[in-house]
Amino acid sequence: MKDRLVTLIGGGGFLGRYVAQELYRAGARVRIAQTRPRDAWFLKTQGGLGQTQFAATDTTRADSVARAIEGSDLVVNLAGTFGSAMQKVHVDGARNVAEAARNAGATALVHISAIGADSDSDSAYGRSKAQGEQAVLGAFPNATILRPSVMFGREDAFVNRFAGLIAAAPVVPVLRGEARFQPAYVADVAAAVVKAIEDPATYGGHLYELGGPDVVTMAELHRWIAATIGRPDRFVALPDALGGLIATFGALPGAPITRDQWLMLQHDNVAAAGSEGFAAFGITPTPLATVAPAWLVRFRRHGRFGRLGAAA
């Protein structure tokens, strides 16, 4: 990997920053390509002098993507959205990236999809992710497709979001408490990305579902977070009828969940039986309980000076 140029589409995002750190350690040159490069300038200090480049890129425009990828040895597409532009980003944008990588002569492409990608999915997110995979393989057949489960890490918007609610609210409503997740540590996913891009002869043309070592329900996750931050277990399970009603207003500012996210919650977010995962990369996935308490401490009453079990 030393001195090879790796372009990270969406490299300043949650997963992208961890992939960049892995690449820095491997001695690669890293080009961060995204709509607002200044949002990723914090990565400058994490690599060596001149090791990081930036490119303003609109994945929905083929010419913009081609300019960003020009001269790249390897490409990783991390771009994703939950908004109204899912078709443009997940499908059209993914195709643009794959075509540009092929035309630039890149030797490997890793495309980040998601567990739940399914062309027959009820949700637009699931359908667009599956269509994006098809578009990528149509343009770059030897691409590696990675489908991580919900990812956790210090900067995540999943575990931290729930912890914030539990710390602030006297009672926390829980939607779809029986829905199951297989959370994956973001650093483990980043390690898999770099292993895949280093060895396209082994991993190219394959699909991997990356789930963590534990499968938990939404209700179990809430209880674990409450215990970890020393907050009372005050949860109210909302019936599906009410959850569906709340989701119908998901387009309004401040809505807790969108209609599409509600549809996604109707299905478990776990790796399919028999699918290849972290083991194929020689990675032992990290349990949530071994790393999350280190950053969730800020949600305790009185922070790291608080006592577990203290009244909230």
Average pLDDT across the chain, whole number:
92
Question: In whole angstroms, what is the distance from residue 130 CA to residue 139 CA?
Answer: 15
What is each CA distance from 301 to 230, 233, 298, in whole angstroms?
Answer: 8, 14, 8
CB-based contacts of 149: which residues, under 8 Å, 6+ apart? Answer: 114, 115, 181, 182, 183, 184, 209, 210, 211, 212, 269, 270, 271
Annotate 275-302 with b (16+ C-beta within 10 A) or e (fewer): eebbebbebebbebeebbeebbeebbee
- pTM above the 0.85 mark? yes
Contact 82, 260 (CB under 8 A): yes
CB-based contacts of 39: which residues, under 8 Å, 6+ apart? Answer: 12
* Angle at alpha carbon of residue 82, lines to 79 and 87, rounded to 5°: 70
pLDDT digits (tens, 9 = 90+) for 122-173: 999 999 999 999 999 999 999 999 999 999 999 999 999 999 999 998 998 8
pLDDT digits (tens, 9 = 90+) for 70-102: 999 999 999 999 888 999 999 999 999 999 999
| pLDDT score of 255 | 56
What is each CA distance from 85 to 118, 128, 230, 250, in whole angstroms?
Answer: 18, 10, 39, 16
Q: At how many degrees (to 10) do helices 94-103 and 62-69 cross?
A: 40
Contact 26, 1 (CB under 8 A): yes
Q: Of all residues in the chain, what percent carry a pLDDT higher than 90? A: 77
Question: In whole angstroms, what is the distance from residue 221 CA to residue 219 CA?
Answer: 5
Helix (H, G, I), strand (E, B) or coil at 206: coil
Q: Band of the pLDDT at 265, cuts 50, 70, 90?
A: confident
Burial degree of 254 (CB within 10 A; 0-12, 13-18, 19+): exposed
Q: Band of the pLDDT at 242, cuts 50, 70, 90?
A: confident
Q: Average of pLDDT values for 235-250?
A: 80
Does 308 have pLDDT greater than 70?
no
| pLDDT score of 312 | 36
Which tokens sit at 180? Answer: 């199951």
- The backbone region for 50, taken as left when phi is positive above 0, alpha when psi lies in -120 to 50, beta otherwise, is left
Q: Among residues 244, 280, 282, which one has the least CA distance to residue 261?
A: 244
